[in-house]
């Protein structure tokens, strides 16, 4: 009997011996799940998630414009980390909601999955789920205020951490208040993110401008104004919080940074913007806008003289960087249409086979926008479209329209086909080159380049690869490194500029081939980041113009052909010192001229120091004034060595300053705005000279030149 009781008790405890029943199931009410797990709703609590709050509120205003109820939006960055977004739409309803027994406004702002986009006739097309976005922003804000102008009145309600203010203070919930009459209509949302959730509350002006510019292209006839009032504590700015006027800040006679967007051309204007620094091979921009089976399809494209593609997909005006069903439908139709046209007009030999998706995308700039009544995304952050009806609609609409375009524009058709044929030949040549490299390495029993001084560790997580400039620097690095975890690959001269080079030409470059083999990931369609041999690739070049150029060439290579390596956080730039300063027995390293002066001027005014810069082997005196009394006296001798390159540093100095993980300074390379990075690489490394000249002239004063 005793044994039976023990067994029954064990069953109650569960397999692991711990008590587990219905009382252990947590039920989070209201918006508490959002505050507990914000990453599930906005992806991250870093800068990207912070800006996602702006997008969610802005999307609600933009959806009013998509429905034809709004044509003006104002976004204002306010002092105190607050953002104000106003529109002249219909205004969120403020009447009582039958189910929740509170106003519709409070329901939308405090309840997940509540809003006008889940059915009914509130919105035929919307970017997100009205109520999910607004309520999530509300939940993650320490302050949120919504003002509604509609039906002749002005209404307001304030919230904190997702609850109406009075309720957040432990009192009864206060209803929406009518604070006056109004002839205006629209909604104004002002919010301040909660520092408990977000460590960094700094909104980036360029990030917001670039995102909203993109949205302006997508909604024809919509005016969007962005104003930066953060540095202005003027009373007129504070008065704007009173919300008496929807577009209050636009008319202020203050010197505020602002930018306004208004485009009638839609996606055609967007393509022109992206190809501003490119050379088109297709004169007429292709454009189609049509509805198919309840799905609105809008596509604009143009081929340019480049090897990279630029594909910008949207679903209900939300950028879907990971693609989705609309992208699949487009790529399928594009490949099929060009293959059919090519075969029909006998423009390619049968022995060459047909185009693949890779061939027809080369040099293509395309914007794809679909609008659906019921939309499904894969993931809460809406990075990938999952609605299957979009695939067929895009394939049908685009396939038919693009075929007609090719027939009606034979010159453009010929240019597009010829470019795709060139890409096909290059793809085959690249495959042959890659196969040759892999076979050659395997047959010779040597998969790594001879000049690579590899590390002993086989654990990629702790292994580092230093890319250094020349054999001299390579020799010092090889002697000074930690052989267990640090590998060194010297690069001779400047590598090939890959901005306009295909893989076959790249792999003909000995330096690039050595780097690709050393990394272990392969390249192109056989790239596999899981085979990366080092989780730190450190670019260590000299602190001069040539070193900067080599660094730029390497970054171009990684950005164009190994972007996943950058996105994984594996690329770093070493920061070797410029000076070695010895005062008596004390040795210091300075990374800038300011640091050098600070080190030399310890205990004295910088202007009172005289020093001569020579190689460290010289023994040069320096004068310094005493700290007190103003009487001059001899100080210890100061030795200053100016490092012109890594090759001038001995192994011990290199280890101590540049390679020792405990002391070194590294800059991590990341892609904050891939589209902006793409444009800059086009300007700086492309073949078009005028844009590069203009860029240099505009930014010359910002350059730090070592003369």
544: annotated active-site residue = yes
Q: How many CA atoms lie within 13 A of 262 on its CB side?
A: 9
435: annotated active-site residue = no
Catalytic site residue from 151, 305, 358, 546: 546
Smallest CA-to-CA distance from 149 within 87, 61, 83, 219 is with 87
In the beta sheet, which residues pair with residue 364?
303
Burial of 486 (C-beta count, 10 Å sphere; 0-12/13-18/19+): buried
542: annotated active-site residue = yes
**305 neighbors 363 (Cβ within 8 angstroms):** yes
| Backbone dihedral angles phi then psi of residue 377, each to the nearest 5 degrees | -110, 155
Report the C-alpha gap between 5 and 10 in whole angstroms.
Answer: 9
| DSSP letter string, 208-248 | HHHHHHHHHHHSTT-EEEEEE-TT---HHHHHGGG-SSTTT
Dihedral of CA atoms 523, 528, 531, 534 in degrees, nearest 10, equals 60
Catalytic site residue from 32, 400, 544, 648: 544
Smallest CA-to-CA distance from 668 within 553, 568, 569 is with 569
Here the tokens at position 399 are: 């396939």
Element (H or E) spanning 146, and its range? strand 141-150
**392 neighbors 329 (Cβ within 8 angstroms):** yes
- 363 secondary structure, DSSP code: T
Question: Which residue in this structure is represented by tokens 């293959």?
Answer: 339
Here the tokens at position 467 are: 């890319």
Here the tokens at position 290 are: 């049509």
Here the tokens at position 148 are: 């509604």
Q: In which order are the strands placed within the sheet that holds 286-292?
A: 286-292, 295-303, 364-371, 310-315, 318-319
What contacts 269, CB < 8 A, 6 or more positions away?
A: 217, 263
CA distances from 261 to 404, 432, 474 (A): 33, 48, 51
Smallest CA-to-CA distance from 326 within 379, 390, 373, 377 is with 390
What contacts 196, CB < 8 A, 6 or more positions away?
A: 142
User: Cα Rg for the chain, rounded, in angstroms?
Assistant: 31
Smallest CA-to-CA distance from 519 within 469, 564, 470, 473 is with 564
| Backbone dihedral angles phi then psi of residue 261, each to the nearest 5 degrees | -125, 140
Smallest CA-to-CA distance from 227 within 194, 258, 248 is with 258
**36 neighbors 162 (Cβ within 8 angstroms):** no
- Residues, the chain: 707
What contacts 488, CB < 8 A, 6 or more positions away?
A: 452, 453, 465, 466, 468, 474, 477, 478, 481
> Active-site positions?
469, 542, 544, 546
């Amino acid at each position: 009997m005793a044994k039976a009781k023990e067994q029954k008790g064990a069953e109650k405890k569960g397999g692991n011996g711990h008590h587990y029943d219905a009382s252990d199931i947590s039920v989070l009410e209201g918006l508490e799940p959002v505050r507990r797990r914000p990453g599930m709703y906005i992806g991250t609590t870093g800068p990207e998630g912070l800006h996602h709050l702006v997008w969610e509120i802005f999307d609600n205003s933009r959806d009013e414009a998509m429905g034809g109820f709004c044509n003006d939006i104002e976004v204002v960055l306010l002092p105190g980390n607050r953002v104000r977004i106003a529109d002249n739409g219909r205004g969120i309803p403020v009447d009582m909601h039958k189910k929740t027994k509170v106003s519709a406004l409070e329901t939308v702002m405090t309840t997940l999955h509540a809003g006008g986009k889940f059915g009914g006739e509130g919105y035929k097309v919307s970017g997100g789920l009205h109520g999910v976005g607004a309520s999530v922003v509300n939940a993650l804000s320490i302050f949120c205020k919504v003002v509604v102008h509609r039906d002749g009145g002005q209404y307001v309600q304030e919230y904190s951490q997702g609850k109406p203010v009075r309720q957040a203070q432990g009192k009864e919930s206060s209803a929406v208040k009518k604070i006056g009459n109004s002839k205006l209509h629209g909604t104004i949302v002002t919010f301040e993110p909660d520092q408990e959730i977000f460590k960094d509350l700094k909104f980036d002006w360029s990030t917001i401008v670039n995102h909203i510019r993109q949205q302006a292209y997508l909604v024809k006839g919509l005016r969007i104004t962005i104003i930066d009032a953060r540095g202005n504590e003027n009373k007129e700015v504070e008065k704007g919080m009173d919300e008496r006027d929807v577009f209050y800040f636009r008319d202020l006679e203050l010197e505020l940074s602002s930018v306004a967007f208004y485009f009638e051309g839609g996606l055609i204007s967007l393509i022109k913007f992206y190809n501003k620094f490119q050379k088109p091979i297709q004169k007429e921009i292709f454009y189609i806008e049509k509805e198919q089976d309840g799905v609105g399809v809008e596509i604009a494209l143009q081929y340019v003289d480049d090897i990279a593609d630029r594909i910008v997909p949207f679903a209900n005006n939300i950028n879907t960087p990971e693609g989705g069903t609309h992208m699949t439908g487009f790529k399928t139709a594009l490949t099929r249409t060009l293959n059919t046209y090519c075969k029909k007009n006998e423009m390619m030999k049968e022995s060459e086979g047909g185009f693949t998706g890779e061939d027809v995308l080369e040099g293509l700039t395309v914007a794809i926008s679909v609008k659906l009544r019921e939309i499904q995304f894969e993931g809460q952050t809406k990075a990938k479209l999952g609605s299957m009806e979009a695939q067929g609609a895009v394939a049908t609409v685009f396939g038919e329209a693009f075929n007609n375009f090719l027939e009606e524009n034979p010159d453009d058709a010929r240019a597009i086909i010829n470019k795709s044929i060139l890409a096909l030949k290059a793809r085959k040549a690249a495959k042959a080159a890659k196969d040759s490299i892999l076979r050659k390495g395997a047959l010779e029993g040597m998969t790594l380049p001879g000049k690579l001084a590899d590390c002993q560790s086989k654990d990629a997580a702790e292994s580092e690869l230093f890319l250094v400039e020349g054999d001299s620097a390579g020799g010092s690095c090889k002697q000074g490194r930690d052989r267990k975890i640090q590998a060194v690959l010297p690069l001779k001269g400047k590598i090939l500029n890959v901005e306009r080079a295909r893989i076959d030409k790249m792999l003909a470059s000995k330096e690039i081939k050595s780097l690709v083999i050393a990394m272990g990931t392969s390249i192109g369609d056989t790239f596999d980041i899981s085979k990366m041999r080092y989780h730190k690739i450190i670019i260590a070049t000299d602190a001069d113009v040539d070193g900067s150029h080599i660094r730029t060439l390497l970054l171009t290579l990684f950005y164009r052909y190994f972007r996943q390596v950058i996105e994984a956080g594996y690329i770093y730039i070493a920061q070797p010192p410029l000076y070695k300063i010895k005062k008596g027995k004390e040795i210091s390293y300075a990374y800038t001229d300011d640091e050098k002066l600070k080190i030399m001027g310890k205990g004295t005014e910088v202007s009172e120091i005289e020093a001569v810069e020579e190689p460290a082997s010289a023994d040069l005196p320096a004068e310094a004034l005493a700290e007190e009394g103003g009487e001059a006296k001899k100080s210890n001798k100061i030795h200053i060595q100016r490092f012109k390159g890594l090759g001038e540093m001995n192994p011990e100095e290199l280890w101590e300053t540049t390679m020792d993980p405990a002391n070194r300074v590294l800059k991590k390379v990341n892609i904050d705005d891939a589209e902006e990075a793409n444009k800059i690489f086009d300007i700086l490394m492309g073949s078009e000279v005028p844009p590069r000249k203009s860029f240099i002239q505009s930014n010359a004063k910002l350059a730090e030149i070592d003369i």
